[in-house]
Amino acid sequence: MVASRANYARIKTGLLAIRDHPDLELQLVVAASALLERFGRSIDVIRADGFEPDAVIHLIVEGENPTTMAKSTGLGLLELSTAFENLRPDVVVTVADRFETIATAIAAAYMNIPVAHTQGGEVSGSIDESVRHAVTKLAHVHFPATELSRRRIIAMGEDPDAVFNVGCPSIDLVARTDLSVRADALREFAATHGVGAPIDPERPYLLMMQHPVTTEYGAGLAQINATLDAVVQLGMQALVFWPNVDAGSEDVAKGIRQFREKGRDHGFHFFRNLPAETFVRLMAHCSCMVGNSSAALREGAFIGVPAVTVGSRQQDRETAHNVMRVAHDVGDIADAVREQIAHGPYEPDRLFGDGTAGERIAQVLAGASDLSVQKRLHYSPAAIDAPAATAAG
């Protein structure tokens, strides 16, 4: 199931490999913000890539607050169960840690359909942390993106034989993409996608992508303002991406709109969505990424892009050497970006995969014809039978 622009990038090569595998049949469900114009309507990109959805599900309840996020999850559970009843899949693949992800996992698990989950075992911030681990406990096959994540999933009591460190499919896209960008290509990206100041391809630029933090609901406006103010201090042109649909999205979007309305968007160009290959080309040639997107940690590590991650959204997530962490402080953000620009590109790091994740996911699924829907907790009886430690005295 694909539910957002980031969601699609995180599974696209898996979809391609499943579609092309002789022993597998791809059924694609597209839902949530992937259908909405104000979030870039990723379904158009999906169709342009040659995928025709087998089901299209509208499940977003407007408002972008904690209540509507919970209601959207419930609506997703209702609609997805109907889609699964009609499609009758043998396995349902769900991606990462969003509210649509847990709705997908719950619906499939209750309908006795095995669940395959990507990107489990990671540690971060926001409600994503809880969702990710809850989906792990509902899933039957696990496709973590790092070795540490694989070990964490096994430590959670999952069957080691069902946990496969395949890497992240988004890394596959980077590995397959020609990252050379001519000056006229960069100009074309800005001319055909988004609005704002023209981009001078001869000058360096920043890539900014900041999403709301659901567990810090109400702070989004101040947080995006701090990042925007820091980027203004740097005096550089910037490509700024619209936030995702999570609770608090409207506060972040409001900050961007107010920034533009006050005439402060000089040198800034704003995007709602881009094809994943276009995005990684822009990433590869930016001076620094700033914000709180996991793309800076994943694809950014593989490319070696200097990155500054702001706030708690990626708290404790594994990172390569290309990432600096700062709080929502204008001066700290600006100083960190300056430091990263001065450093320049980092050595590429394969922390999140080597570019073969999609093919490996398809191979595992093709050989998983005998999946049991009955979960078992795998643990060492000796560990639970050991006497509890007591305080001295």
Query: Could you read off the pLDDT of 139-186 as tens digits, one per residue?
Result: 999 999 999 999 999 999 999 999 999 999 999 999 999 888 777 767
The pLDDT mean for the chain works out to 92
What pLDDT digit, counting tens, does each position of 353-368 carry? Answer: 999 999 999 999 999 8
Indicate if the alpha-carbon torsion angle 306, 308, 312, 313 is positive or negative: negative
Domain residue limits, the chain:
5-167+356-383, 178-343
Kindly give the residue spans of alpha helices, DSSP state H, lying in the chain: 5-9, 12-20, 42-48, 66-87, 99-110, 128-138, 147-155, 169-176, 183-192, 220-234, 249-261, 276-285, 299-303, 330-343, 357-366, 381-385
5-167+356-383, superfamily in CATH? Glycogen Phosphorylase B; (3.40.50.2000)
- Residue 318 has phi, psi (to 5 degrees) of -60, 140
The CATH number of 178-343 is 3.40.50.2000
C-alpha span between 288 and 305 (Å, rounded): 6
Closest CA to 221 of 232, 233, 229, 212: 212
CA distance 94 to 110: 15
| Tens-place pLDDT, residues 211-233 | 999 999 999 999 999 999 999 99
- 178-343: same fold as 5-167+356-383? yes
What is the C-alpha to C-alpha distance for residues 393 and 391, in angstroms, rounded to an integer? 6
What pLDDT score was predicted for residue 14? 97
Q: What is the DSSP string of 141-173?
A: EEE-SSHHHHHHHHHTT--GGGB-----HHHHH
Mean pLDDT along residues 235-254:
93
Phi and psi at residue 142, to the nearest 5°: -125, 135
Per the CB < 8 A criterion, the answer to whether 126 and 215 are in contact is yes
What digits encode the pLDDT tens for the residues 37-92?
A: 888 899 999 999 999 999 999 999 988 899 999 999 999 999 999 999 999 999 99
Name the residue with higher pLDDT: 344 or 202.
344
Residues 6+ apart with CB under 8 A from 188: none
Query: CA 168 to CA 13: how far, in whole Å?
Result: 10
Alpha carbon separation from 37 to 34, 48, 241, 259 (Å, rounded): 8, 16, 14, 21
Give per-residue pLDDT as tens, 182-216. Answer: 777 677 777 777 788 888 888 999 999 999 999 99
The pLDDT assigned to 44 comes to 94
Q: Residue 38's pLDDT is what? A: 85
Q: Is the pLDDT of residue 350 over 80?
A: yes
The total number of residues shown for the chain amounts to 393
| Predicted local distance difference test score (pLDDT) of residue 309 | 97
Q: What is the pLDDT, as a whole number, of residue 383?
A: 67
The string of pLDDT tens digits covering residues 248-278 is 999 999 999 999 888 777 789 898 888 888 8
Q: How far apart are CA 345 and CA 354, in angstroms?
A: 19
Please report the DSSP string for 72-133 in residue order. HHHHHHHHHHHHHHHH--S-EEEETTSHHHHHHHHHHHHTT--EEEESTT---STTHHHHHH
Reading the block at residue 160, the tokens are 């080691």
* Residue 391 pLDDT > 60: no
CA 137 – CA 298 distance, rounded (Å): 24
pLDDT of residue 195: 82
Q: Which of 109-118, 210-219, 275-284 has the lowest mean pLDDT?
A: 275-284
User: In sequence order, which ranges of 163-219 are alpha helices (DSSP H)?
Assistant: 169-176, 183-192
In the predicted structure, residue 393 carries a pLDDT above the cut 50: no
